[in-house]
Structure 1
Amino acid sequence: MAKPQFLLFLLLFFFLMYQQSLQQQQQQQQINAVDLAALHDIRNSLRDLPHSDFFSTWDFAAPNPCSTFTGLLCSPDPSASASATPLLRVTSLTLGTGLAGSSGLMGSISPALSNLTALTQIILYAGIVSGSIPPQLGTLKNLRVISLTNNRLSGPIPSSLSTLPNLHTLDLSGNQLGGPVPAGLTGLPSLRVLLLESNQLSGEFPNVSTQLLHLDLKNNRFSGVLPSLPSSLRYLSMSKNEMWGPLNVLEPLSELVYLDLSMNWFSGSIPETLFRSTLSSLLLQRNNLSGGVPKTKAVDATSYGEGSTVDLSHNLLSGELSPVLAGVEILFLNSNRLIGIVPDEYVQSVLVGSMKTLYLQHNYLSGFPLESGSPLPDSASLCLSYNCMIPPVRTMTCPANAGGLLSRPAYQCRLVHLGNAD
């Protein structure tokens, strides 16, 4: 009976000895003096807001900041001599906790950040840090991730960031940055994620020659036509800008699963290649798009599936509605110039519950083939008001902005069939 207890004692003894040896090794290691001085400058340029205690662990009297400072990751200096005590270099710096209860940091970003020459990642969580982005960041050739989000950074995006060969992710969203995007930025060979939404950036967005996967530019002041974009893109958002022109540049983007170009001035027809089930979010509302929904479908409409959303509302789409979108879960086609009878495939999708939202109000549609007394699922939201249906189909799930009129004036319905509707 004593043997298992003895073995357990030995295991515990060796574990404690290992822990003690590891602690002694860490205490012997020292941080690079240049990195330590840079951390001093960074600390002096920032401070905690009320309800934030991020810097509470930054005690420069500690023997090894790499093992005690919150937000710091270090690695041995590869240039150090093998016979010397290994020096540590800062490779990752996270400023702020990012926790819901933390108010973040205030101050500015110190140019001394560029002295952390082994840095591969810099993250600044939400706060009220202001001032410009130091152009000296462009000297950190090992950087793979720059994330400086939801603060009050202003000024331009430094053109020096266009010289970072290993940059994979650049996230500057939620700031007050202005001016154009440096042309070289969208040609960086390793860049895959570019997030610039919710700033005050302007001008024409440059052509993209790198294999981007994720591009988010929404809520800025970009103008001009769509740039050249790579076929690798899976996520593209340019909503709430001032862009115009046709959408034909999107035809080769076969990998897209999310597209949001809403609230711009785009015109012309919607490319047929965008009507596919693999593009599960297609948001083109509030533009000047014309033409119609394609008459044929390349895939089975039922393959759109759960979570799919298509919003083509508030455009100039005309003609009869084809069944191509009948499998979409949430579909907005309201406020267009669609005519004719709604295809039966849409009715059946609503009845079986696969289509949970169908808004067709404010068109010129003349029929919705729903048998009298057919119950709609409780989850269904169907709106058909202000069309040319006689008798009008009353639905109880229209939004408030649909208005109270069930039908259009008869003269408007006559004019649309003559091609003269406004």
Structure 2
Amino acid sequence: MENPHALLLLSLLLLNLALPSMQQKLDPADLRALASIKNSLTDVPSRRSRASFFSTWDFSSSDPCSSFTGITCSSLGRVTTLTLGTGLTDSPGLAGSLPPSLSDLSELTQLILYPGIVTGPIPTQLGRLVNLRVISLTNNRLTGQVPATLSLLNNLHTLDLSFNRLTGSVPSALTRLPMLKVLILSSNDISGDIPAVVSQLLHLDFSNNKLTGQLPQQLPSTLRYISLASNELLGPISGMDTLSDLVHLDLSMNRFSGALPASLFRTSLPSLMLQRNNLSGWVPLVVPAAEDQPQPPSYGEGSIVDLSHNALTGELSPILAGVESLYLNNNRLIGTVPRAYVKSAYVGTTRTLYLQHNYISKFPVEPGSALPDTVSLCLSYNCMVPPIGLAACPSSAGTELSRPASQCSVFNYG
């Protein structure tokens, strides 16, 4: 009779011998691509950190799928995600350039490059990676244009190329990708017009570039976050009427002109930044409620509205009462501050209220009332007599309490 213990030992031995051959080996094409990537990039030496991203990339003895930092593989031995750099706060990142051989990782779905000093262009060959869903190449020194070939990536969900040195224009087909939800090209040197946006975008950030022209006539109703700050855009603010889900709009530091669209105040945008433009007219005194919303919602905790440094006129609108941080300074506003503003400041709902450098004639304070320590109120350089002091005013407000009487009388604001 055969010894069962001997049979068990023999089975375990055969299983152990078979394990190496059962391990999934990396596809040869992917292995060559990884070797090329390592030859094109290098760790930047740092006295603060000993972390070395490529220290585990040992092609002589390692199985990349199980031991290489920054990659994950499919069950078929293909690289599906590639993260270049450690991402540690004390790491200076990688140097070198991105090789065209990245496109040989044909099953790649995610490509991330952590902050560093990687230079050179973004390989146009990335347009071959039809499975890519995420491209994030931020905070480096990449140059050249945004490759038009990225517009071939119909599965792309997120594209973040911010904080580089990219030039040229935004490829017109890029904003039409059917699956694109997040598009961030901020802090580059990109110029030209904003192309028509027809995809189902949620997040659009082209801030800190050199974009010119006007806003697209219609923006996707799906948008929740828009930042076009610090460009050279002009004309009226348009295309906002259908953006009912918008929670952040930053068009500051451009050359927009014309009136403020009433639709911007219908949904009480939690974050509305329009400062330092050429906007005129006045904030609507009353905003009609939407059909599906009997009462316009009120501003909540953390809300911020900045309309400063424009040419807004008329009396202050009560619809902005309750904004936590409200900046209306450096305009041409007149009249009495609505009591709703005063109450909101004195109960601490509004924590910052800047109204300096206008032509306001009255701030109706109740006798004996005092502002909470948490509230910053600035009313200097208006037409109030007697003026309210400079408490909590920024240094840019100057030291003069009131406007010269001649200014207030000439403009009939007294």
TM-score by length of 2: 0.91
Deviation (angstroms), 1:275 = 1.1
Deviation (angstroms), 1:26 = 8.5
* 1:303-339 C-alpha deviation (Å, 9 max, x unpaired): 2111000000000000001210001000000000000
* 1:61-84 C-alpha deviation (Å, 9 max, x unpaired): 13411100000000023xxxxxxx
* 1:77-105 C-alpha deviation (Å, 9 max, x unpaired): 3xxxxxxxxxx000000000111011100
Q: 1:321 aligns with which of 307, 316, 320?
A: 316
Query: Structure 1: how far apart are the matches of 2:20 and 2:180?
Result: 38
Deviation (angstroms), 1:25 = 6.2
Deviates more, 1:306-315 or 1:409-418: 409-418
The one-letter code matched in structure 2 to 1:321 is: L
Q: How do 1:6-405 residues align onto structure 2 when only pairs under 5 Å count?
A: 24=19, 28-51=23-46, 52-77=51-76, 88-227=77-216, 228-298=218-288, 303-405=298-400
Deviation (angstroms), 1:374 = 1.1
Q: Is the 8 A contact 2:201 2:223 kept in 1?
A: yes
The one-letter code matched in structure 1 to 2:66 is: S
Number of the residue aligned with 1:411: 406
Query: Structure 1: how far apart are the matches of 2:279 and 2:349?
Result: 27
* 1:5-30 C-alpha deviation (Å, 9 max, x unpaired): xxxxxxxxxxxx9xx97x93686221
Query: Structure 1: how far apart are the matches of 2:339 and 2:297?
Result: 14
Query: Structure 1: how far apart are the matches of 2:359 and 2:25?
Result: 75
Deviation (angstroms), 1:46 = 0.2
* 1:222-264 C-alpha deviation (Å, 9 max, x unpaired): 0000023111100000000000010122222111100000000
Query: Structure 1: how far apart are the matches of 2:297 and 2:36?
Result: 59
Q: Cα distance 1:386–1:302, how it changes in 2: closer, same or farther (>3 A)?
A: farther
Query: Structure 2: how far apart are the matches of 1:374 and 1:395?
Result: 17
Number of the residue aligned with 1:11: none
Q: Is the 8 A contact 2:321 2:344 kept in 1?
A: yes
Secondary structure at 1:161's aligned position in 2? helix
The one-letter code matched in structure 1 to 2:312 is: L
Q: Is the 8 A contact 2:124 2:149 kept in 1?
A: yes
Number of the residue aligned with 2:292: none
The one-letter code matched in structure 2 to 1:205 is: I
Query: Structure 2: how far apart are the matches of 1:115 and 1:301?
Result: 53
Deviation (angstroms), 1:160 = 0.5
Deviation (angstroms), 1:403 = 0.5
Secondary structure at 2:156's aligned position in 1? coil
Q: Cα distance 1:371–1:165, how it changes in 2: closer, same or farther (>3 A)?
A: same
* 1:142-195 C-alpha deviation (Å, 9 max, x unpaired): 000000000000000111000111000000000000000110000000000000
The one-letter code matched in structure 2 to 1:194 is: L
* 1:122-142 C-alpha deviation (Å, 9 max, x unpaired): 000000000000000000000
Q: Cα distance 1:368–1:26, how it changes in 2: closer, same or farther (>3 A)?
A: farther
CA RMSD of aligned residues (A): 1.9
Q: Is the 8 A contact 2:151 2:173 kept in 1?
A: yes
Deviation (angstroms), 1:395 = 3.7
Query: Structure 1: how far apart are the matches of 2:144 and 2:197?
Result: 23
Q: Is the 8 A contact 1:302 1:328 kept in 2?
A: no
The one-letter code matched in structure 1 to 2:173 is: G
Query: Structure 2: how far apart are the matches of 1:130 and 1:136?
Result: 17
What is the count of residue pairs matched by the alignment?
A: 391
Secondary structure at 1:179's aligned position in 2? coil
Secondary structure at 2:111's aligned position in 1? strand
Q: Cα distance 1:241–1:348, how it changes in 2: closer, same or farther (>3 A)?
A: same
Deviation (angstroms), 1:394 = 1.4
Deviation (angstroms), 1:297 = 4.0
The one-letter code matched in structure 1 to 2:398 is: G
Secondary structure at 2:239's aligned position in 1? helix
Structure 2 unpaired stretches of 5+: 1-11, 290-294
Deviates more, 1:325-334 or 1:53-62: 53-62
Q: Is the 8 A contact 1:317 1:338 kept in 2?
A: yes
Structure 1 unpaired stretches of 5+: 1-16, 78-87
Structure with higher strand content? 1
Query: Structure 2: how far apart are the matches of 1:347 and 1:31?
Result: 68
Deviation (angstroms), 1:411 = 1.2
Deviates more, 1:274-283 or 1:29-38: 274-283
Q: Cα distance 1:278–1:24, how it changes in 2: closer, same or farther (>3 A)?
A: farther
Query: Structure 1: how far apart are the matches of 2:309 and 2:349?
Result: 24
Q: Is the 8 A contact 2:268 2:296 kept in 1?
A: no
Deviation (angstroms), 1:206 = 0.3
Query: Structure 2: how far apart are the matches of 1:89 and 1:335?
Result: 59
The one-letter code matched in structure 2 to 1:146 is: I
The one-letter code matched in structure 1 to 2:304 is: T
The one-letter code matched in structure 2 to 1:71 is: G
Q: Is the 8 A contact 1:301 1:327 kept in 2?
A: no
The one-letter code matched in structure 1 to 2:371 is: L
Q: Is the 8 A contact 1:27 1:64 kept in 2?
A: no
Secondary structure at 1:55's aligned position in 2? helix
Instruction: Provide the identity percentage.
Output: 60
Q: Is the 8 A contact 2:315 2:335 kept in 1?
A: yes
Q: Is the 8 A contact 2:252 2:276 kept in 1?
A: yes
The one-letter code matched in structure 1 to 2:67 is: T
Q: Cα distance 1:279–1:25, how it changes in 2: closer, same or farther (>3 A)?
A: farther
Query: Structure 2: how far apart are the matches of 1:137 and 1:250?
Result: 34
